[in-house]
Amino acid sequence: MKIVHVIFSLKTGGAETMLVDVLNEQIKSSSVELIIVNNIYDLTLIKCIDKRVKISFINREPKSLNILKLLKLNYLIFQINPTVIHCHNHNLAPLIKFTGTSKICLTVHSLNMPLKHFTKYNQVFAISDAVRKDILSRSGINVKVVYNGIDFEKVEYKENINSYSPLFSILQVSRLDYKLKGQDVLLRALAILIHDKGIKYIKLDLIGESNNNSDKIYLENLVHELDIKDYVNFLGLKRRDYVYLNLKSYSLLVQPSIYEGFGLTIVEAIAAKIPVLVSDIEGPMEVIGGGKFGEYFEKANHYDCASKIEKLIMDYSNQHRLDKINRSFEFAFNTFNIKNTANNYLKEYALL
């Protein structure tokens, strides 16, 4: 089978890093190529792709209708003549004029994706049941779910949750976009724990950068307003290998998202065998099995978030917590493993 994956840009993000892992798995059994349409890509991410995967760069300016770039894209697909064209942006289909006998499919990586071009694809996949339900409720199209996954072998895990640490360290990993990712909710919860509950042996690290500097400025100002600057660190964007190496050193991962179709960082934390606390929205709740494999709080409610963190601190090392972490790891390993993701796509391609 000859597969070509097409994406507009390859910057560090959930969809892009998952795609890299899928490429590296699928190349083990199939002929796989990647086309990056726009001139936006992260070289460190490119270097993570298996050398056997041929990568082609169209180098189009974003949103440009430059006819030469579009001809280059289509001629390249014509030359490859793939069995399957797998798109990772919903509006790629109108640019791909030549498909020949190839089947064309799309993976939807987030909620509220525009539906305009869905009928141009032979098959649409959703990364979670939450995304599937979102598409179904707005279009009546019942797409297939292929769960995102990670490479569990690359994530270092905490050997012993009972190991003593005088500091309760919290991690949050996502783009600094508080209206979507809810970092302000977590900061306000932290302030309650510090000032109202007197919990001083605590810190919060935030990994990620903002698409526009205004979000970071807002969050930094909020930190000063809440008087918690001694407890909060903005670490900026970190490579995935850094995250995979250091996750195990934290006491807890909190994902306070307001909107989230899945939650790959939640899976990564479970793989590192640290507890997770998420907002009670469909995507993250799906990752923690409806609450069986992680803790949750009411979306956008910083009081409830603070209460759940306090409870985690109080009963952190009991046997129930340890048992839950082990059950969570087993569930995530069987459900959100990148080997399953890549192989499930191969099975679906064969049905097209």
Q: What is the pLDDT of residue 117?
A: 93
Q: What is the pLDDT of residue 133?
A: 95
Q: Which amino acid is at 148?
A: N
List all residues 6 or more positions away from 151 whose beta carbon is below 8 Å from its beta carbon: 21, 338
Q: What is the pLDDT of residue 103?
A: 97
Check whether domain 2-149+337-351 has CATH 3.40.50.2000, yes or no: yes
Q: What is the pLDDT of residues 192-202, one digit of tens each?
A: 999 999 999 99
Q: What is the pLDDT of residue 164?
A: 58
Q: What is the pLDDT of residues 272-302, one digit of tens each?
A: 999 999 999 999 999 999 999 999 999 999 9
| Statement: residue 135 has pLDDT above 70 | yes
Q: How confident is the model at residue 316 (pLDDT cuts 50, 70, 90)?
A: confident
Q: Which residue has the higher pLDDT, 309 or 210?
A: 309
Domains 2-149+337-351 and 154-335 fall in the same CATH topology? yes
Two structure tokens written together for 104: 């064309």
Spatial contact of 32 and 23, defined as CB atoms under 8 Å apart: yes
Q: What is the pLDDT of residues 322-340, one digit of tens each?
A: 899 999 999 999 999 999 9
Fold for the domain defined by 154-335: Rossmann fold (3.40.50)
Mean pLDDT computed over every residue of the chain: 94
| Statement: residue 186 has pLDDT above 90 | yes
Q: Per-domain residue ranges for the chain?
A: 2-149+337-351, 154-335
Q: How confident is the model at residue 163 (pLDDT cuts 50, 70, 90)?
A: low
pTM reported for the whole predicted model: 0.92
Q: How confident is the model at residue 211 (pLDDT cuts 50, 70, 90)?
A: confident
Q: What is the pLDDT of residue 351?
A: 95
Two structure tokens written together for 270: 């479970």
Mean pLDDT across the stretch 90-94?
A: 94
Mean pLDDT across the stretch 166-193?
A: 96
